[in-house]
Amino acid sequence: MTGAFTRRLCAGVFAAGACVALSGCPSNTVQEGGRSIAKVTDAQCRQERETLRSAVEAYTLLKGAPPVDEAALVPDWLREQSLYYDLDAQGNVVPSPTAGCTI
């Protein structure tokens, strides 16, 4: 085996192992708003939920009331609307029914 081949093989094995260990390799896709998105892992769900909760909290503190929808948070508090979570009528973060987040 050549050195370059060995390095590529090791990198591939490492990437595959990291992917499995971190559950960062979604295997399913869902349709949302006419586009296909990958089903998320628990880690991605937790991160997305916390980001959205922080944005809602900041918005509420500065505006005095929760946002009426996610669009009110873009672009000042969020870069884009969440694919995995929605806001209910009271501004609470709830899982999107199609994305697969349950937490």
Question: Could you report the per-residue pLDDT of 52-102, keeping only the tens digit for each?
Answer: 999 999 999 999 999 988 899 988 888 998 888 889 888 889 998 877 787
- Whole-model pTM: value is 0.59
Question: Could you report the per-residue pLDDT of 8-20, keeping only the tens digit for each?
Answer: 544 444 444 443 4
Give the distance, in angstroms, between the CA of residue 62 and the centroid of all CA atoms in the same chain.
25
- Helix %, strand %, coil % of the chain (to 5): 45, 15, 40
Burial of 69 (0-12, 13-18, 19+ CB in 10 A): middle
